[in-house]
């Protein structure tokens, strides 16, 4: 028999089977199948074959892949996938799987086929069921124009698993499953594979999150390019929050791009410490530095950096602090990255406090409760014990907790000191007062009493970032996102001075551009901090605060007058002032900053003129911090999907940041380089 097969194999070309021969073979196969079915013992309950098919379908379903996405390459994956591949092959031979007569499943993994001892193999295959035959009759029914999201084949799974294995996900010594042989096409008028409609799902569709994310972010459109001729003034509130950067980092480290709405470019820029020139005395709360450079991603525009550095008070000169920890212990906080991390974070902060400081603790879940009355920081063990005893459970009555926290803050109020409520939560206010406007009113009223509010966010999938931002902005405080204990160390220990001790409040920036020098401008970031032009001089309008040693950076992309990169045509009937000569034609812009003292109600004004004296001709000669901040700004805009950065590759952002890394005592900038590399791998837009 072997010699005959060898002779047949050497024929070139192989003889073509006649229609009559195929018909006889099919009839014989059907007869053999019927006899086998007739002699088979009946099973109990559902058909055995149907049960196997159901199991296989579940294994290859999107949800199953999701829940076991880390099995690839592991020992458990080996035990599951290899038997599954064998069963799949057997089922395909019988024709039981859906569409088995239409599309052949390709190999799951590109791996050598293991040598196995073969037993008897049935020589016939079960024909497709009537519904399956209908599905493969190409001329009888048109294919669906709207394929379901779950209709993907094993090549999609293979693509994802191969990607994970290449990144080091496979365990050492794991055995790849055998390739799956394609089933025979049994229908007479089967749709060819190339002609069949093919839906190619993305990685996020193949491996969706186990639980649909309920994170909420403020939806703000990216700042547009504005014409100086018609809109020469830009006004916004400063933003010293850093929550966005930490959330973006967590998303990338978990293997997916962040929600574009979660990317606030100014918070990413201001996450890093910069050595901007600083004021020398407390009478000058901060100093302004303006630098103009070429734009790396657009040769026809320039970047104008407006940097503010706050006066840094010595620890011995910092006033006493009255802190109320308002801690969410609701059921949604029952996760390792929520309440346990929160407790560790506050333990770090307690270790930073001075003996004259006071600490109170209020919890809320269903209703508010006082865990610790105002206690001197000298009683450190008592405070830590109260923190350690916190347990999660119940729904979230956040408004009650806020009221209770402010009552304790007033009870232990320190005149001339720092009085602050520190809210730690995942942002889920679902019981009691839940209207954002009502919560905003409560916070605004309490800040008039000299009690400020800071917010620390924890967890993912339930984060109400938009509410946290609103509370912090209206409470004259900051918002930070704590994803690791290292981030808690940065926010609550290393930068405790800027987090807890304000040096100026209601800080606003207004920039007026000279139409003789600048044709267009675009503010990078600060979308949620925009103010009306008239708000700048209105002291009743709230704005951001600057803490001790805080650095704030704002970047404008400006288009010089007459540049070919201008997006707006000149106005035929524009204002006469736009073309008439004016005495200050050598000025590019005029920067104004208004601020109040922490205990004051009347603002003061600081002004800075911007000319060519502030400019550098070559970007590589710009100060190191300016170049690094530009790299972060480019990265944030690219993650956010800003059109101006579409064609600018990640590798140039990486080179820019690497060349400007400089001294990196805590590794923050090195961590940024890692995020850029991750984003380049994940971003396939």
Region 565-593: mean pLDDT is 74
Q: Is the pLDDT of residue 435 over 90?
A: no
Q: What is the pLDDT of residue 137?
A: 39
Rg, Å, the chain Cα set: 33
pLDDT at 598: 85
**CATH architecture of the domain with range 226-313+503-565+583-682:** Sandwich (2.60)
- pLDDT tens column, 104-113: 444 433 444 4
C-alpha 592: how far from its chain's center? 34
Distances, alpha carbon 280 to alpha carbons 141, 473, 617, in Å: 81, 28, 30
619/119 Cα distance (integer angstroms): 71
pLDDT digits (tens, 9 = 90+) for 36-75: 655 655 544 444 444 444 443 443 444 444 444 443 444 4
Token code pair at residue 374: 């105002």
Above 50 in pLDDT, residue 562?
yes
pLDDT tens readout for residues 90-135: 554 555 544 444 444 444 334 444 444 444 444 444 444 444 444 3
Q: What are the boundaries of each domain within the chain?
A: 43-206, 226-313+503-565+583-682, 315-500
Is the preceding peptide bond at 305 cis, omega within 30 degrees of 0?
no
Whether 450 contacts 418, CB under 8 Å: no
**Stretch 502-519: mean pLDDT:** 94
Residue 152 C-alpha from the chain's centroid: 27
Does position 682 have pLDDT exceeding 70, yes or no?
A: yes
680 in Cβ contact with 650 (< 8 Å): yes
| pLDDT value, residue 65 | 40
- 15 backbone dihedrals φ, ψ, rounded to 5°: -65, 140
454: nearest Cα among 486, 412, 396, 495:
495
Instruction: Please tell me the predicted confidence (pLDDT) of residue 40.
Output: 56
For range 501-515, the mean pLDDT: 93
Beta bridge partner(s), residue 232: none
Sheet holding 551-560, edge to edge: 226-227, 518-524, 551-560, 298-310, 286-295
Exposure string of 25-48, with b = 16+ CB inside 10 Å and e = fewer, is eeeebeeebeeeeeeeeeeeeeee
Question: Do 199 and 446 contact (CB within 8 A), yes or no?
Answer: no
Residue 264: count other Cβ atoms within 10 Å of its Cβ: 29
Amino acid 58: pLDDT = 40
Q: How far apart are CA 519 and CA 578, in angstroms?
A: 10
pLDDT tens for residues 391-427?
887 555 556 778 889 999 999 999 989 999 999 988 7
pLDDT over 90 at 216, yes or no = no
CATH of domain 315-500: 3.40.50.410
pLDDT for the residue numbered 396 = 53
Q: Which stretch of 13-17, 158-162, 278-282 has the lowest confidence by average pLDDT?
A: 158-162
Model confidence band, residue 85 (pLDDT cutoffs 50, 70, 90): low
**Is 267 a residue whose pLDDT tops 90?**
yes
**CA-CA distance, 311 to 498, in Å (whole number)?**
10
pLDDT of residue 446 exceeding 90, the answer is no
Asked whether residue 334 carries a pLDDT value surpassing 50, the answer given is yes
How many Å apart are CA 653 and CA 533, to the nearest integer? 34
Q: Crossing angle for the helix pair 243-253 and 668-682, nearest 10 degrees?
A: 50
Whose CA is closest to 450, among 397, 482, 406?
406
> What pLDDT was estimated at residue 324?
96
pLDDT recorded at residue 313 = 83
Distance CA 237, CA 542 (A): 8
């Amino acid at each position: 028999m072997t010699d005959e097969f060898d002779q047949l194999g050497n024929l070139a070309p192989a003889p073509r089977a006649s229609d009559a021969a195929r018909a006889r073979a099919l009839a014989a196969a059907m007869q053999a199948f019927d006899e086998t079915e007739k002699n088979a013992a009946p099973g109990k309950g559902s058909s055995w074959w149907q049960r196997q098919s159901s199991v296989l379908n579940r294994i290859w379903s999107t949800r199953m892949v999701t829940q076991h996405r880390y099995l690839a390459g592991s020992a458990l994956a080996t035990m599951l996938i290899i038997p599954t591949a064998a069963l799949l092959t057997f089922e395909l031979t019988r024709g039981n799987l859906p569409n088995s007569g239409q599309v052949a499943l390709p190999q799951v993994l590109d791996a050598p086929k293991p040598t196995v001892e073969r037993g008897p193999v049935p020589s016939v295959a079960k024909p497709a069921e009537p519904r399956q035959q209908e599905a493969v009759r190409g001329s009888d029914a048109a294919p669906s124009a709207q394929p379901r999201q779950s209709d993907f084949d094993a090549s999609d799974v293979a693509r994802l698993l191969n990607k994970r294995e290449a990144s080091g996900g496979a365990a050492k010594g794991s055995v790849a499953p055998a390739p799956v042989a394609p089933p025979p096409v049994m229908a007479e008028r089967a749709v060819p594979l190339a002609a069949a409609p093919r839906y190619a799902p993305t990685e996020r569709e193949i491996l969706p999150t186990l639980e649909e994310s309920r994170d909420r972010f403020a939806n703000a459109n990216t700042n547009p390019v504005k014409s100086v001729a018609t809109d020469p003034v830009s006004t916004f509130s400063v933003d010293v929050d850093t929550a966005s950067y930490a959330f973006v980092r967590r998303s990338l480290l978990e293997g997916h791009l962040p929600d574009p709405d979660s990317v606030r470019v100014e918070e990413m820029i201001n996450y890093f410490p910069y050595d901007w020139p600083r004021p020398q005395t407390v009478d000058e709360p901060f100093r302004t530095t303006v630098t103009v450079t070429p734009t790396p991603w657009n040769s026809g525009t320039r970047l104008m950096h407006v940097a503010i550095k706050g006066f840094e008070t010595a620890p011995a000169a910092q006033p006493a602090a009255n802190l109320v920890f308002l801690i969410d212990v609701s059921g949604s906080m029952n996760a390792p990255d929520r309440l346990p991390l929160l407790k560790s974070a506050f333990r770090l902060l307690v270790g930073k406090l001075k003996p004259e400081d006071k600490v109170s603790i209020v919890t809320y879940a269903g209703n508010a409760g006082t865990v610790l009355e105002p206690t001197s920081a000298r009683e450190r063990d008592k405070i830590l014990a109260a923190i350690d005893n916190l347990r999660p459970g119940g729904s979230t009555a956040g408004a009650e907790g806020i009221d209770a926290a402010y009552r304790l803050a007033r009870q232990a109020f320190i005149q001339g000191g720092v009085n602050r409520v520190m809210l730690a939560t995942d942002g889920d206010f679902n019981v009691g007062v839940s209207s954002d406007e009502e919560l905003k009113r409560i916070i605004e009223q309490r800040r008039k009493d000299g009690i400020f509010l800071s917010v620390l966010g924890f967890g993912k999938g339930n984060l109400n970032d938009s509410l946290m931002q609103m509370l912090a902005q209206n409470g004259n405080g900051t918002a930070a996102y704590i994803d690791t204990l290292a981030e808690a160390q940065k926010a609550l220990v290393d930068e405790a001075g800027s987090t807890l001790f304000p040096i100026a409040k209601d800080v606003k920036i207004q920039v007026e551009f000279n139409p003789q020098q600048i044709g267009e401008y675009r503010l990078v970031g600060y979308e949620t901090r925009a103010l009306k032009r008239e708000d700048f001089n209105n002291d009743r309008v709230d704005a951001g605060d600057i803490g001790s040693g805080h650095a704030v950076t704002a970047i404008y992309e400006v288009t010089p007058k007459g540049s070919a990169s201008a997006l707006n045509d000149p106005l035929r009937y524009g204002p006469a002032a736009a073309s008439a000569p004016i005495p200050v034609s050598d000025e590019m812009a005029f920067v104004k900053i208004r601020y109040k003292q922490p205990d004051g109600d009347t603002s003061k004004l600081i002004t800075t003129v911007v000319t060519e004296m502030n400019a550098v001709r070559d970007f590589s000669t710009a100060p190191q911090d300016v170049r690094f901040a530009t790299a972060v700004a480019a990265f944030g805009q690219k993650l956010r999907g800003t059109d101006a950065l579409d064609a600018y590759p990640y590798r140039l952002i990486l080179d820019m940041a690497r060349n400007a890394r400089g001294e990196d005592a805590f590794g923050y900038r090195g961590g940024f380089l890692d995020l850029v590399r991750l984003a380049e791998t994940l971003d396939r837009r």
